Structures are given as structure tokens and as C-alpha cells.
């Protein structure tokens, strides 16, 4: 089942209450917030009302909050082969 991945790019400060109401109905509260909604004509109509404020893409599967957080985490650039406590125990 496809989903819309909706990310709020621009702020709604100073915009009409109708526009801010649509953002709240979609679950968008802050800039760079991302929500997933199933593809439907109702959601598509809401997106068209705020198309200047959001970035939309269609994905096959909605991500959970923890999966989205893991995707944002950068690569550490290094690997720890043995924990420090084991290395100290081996020396003693």
C-alpha cells in the first residue's frame, strides 16, 4: 500500500487560519517534520491546499519514528573492535 511522505519545508507563520488548520490536520507542527499518510483523494486535496509549504513523495512503506531517527544518524566514521573495559582487563 503506497503512502505519501509529507515533510513541512516552510513555516506557516502569518498565513491564514485555514492553512495552519490543514497543517495541523495532517499532523505537521514544525518545520522539517515528516509524516506518512496513505494515498487517498482526501489527503491529496489537503496537500494541494498547502503545496507551497511541503515536500511530498510517494513511498511504498511508512517508516516508524525510530526508523526515521536511525536514518538521520550519520555514519560514525570508525569502528570499535573491542570495548575499552575488555582492553584494560586484557592488559592487567
CA separation, residue 88 to residues 13, 79, 83, 84 (Å): 55, 18, 9, 6
Q: pLDDT tens across 37-91, in order?
A: 999 999 999 999 999 999 999 999 999 989 989 888 887 777 767 777 776 676 6
**Region at 29 (left for phi over 0; alpha for psi -120 to 50; beta for the rest):** alpha
Burial 28-47 (b: 16+ CB within 10 A, else e): beeeeeebebeeeeebeebb
Q: pLDDT tens across 3-45, in order?
A: 999 999 999 999 999 999 999 999 999 999 999 999 999 999 9
Amino acid at each position: 500500500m503506497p503512502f505519501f511522505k509529507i515533510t513541512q519545508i516552510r513555516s506557516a507563520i502569518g498565513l491564514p487560519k485555514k492553512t495552519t488548520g490543514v497543517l495541523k490536520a495532517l499532523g505537521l507542527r514544525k518545520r522539517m517534520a515528516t509524516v506518512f499518510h496513505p494515498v487517498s483523494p482526501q489527503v491529496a486535496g489537503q496537500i494541494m491546499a498547502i503545496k507551497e509549504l511541503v515536500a511530498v513523495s510517494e513511498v511504498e512503506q511508512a517508516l516508524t519514528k525510530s526508523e526515521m531517527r536511525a536514518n538521520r544518524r550519520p555514519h560514525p566514521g570508525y569502528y570499535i573492535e573491542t570495548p575499552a573495559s575488555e582492553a584494560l582487563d586484557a592488559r592487567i
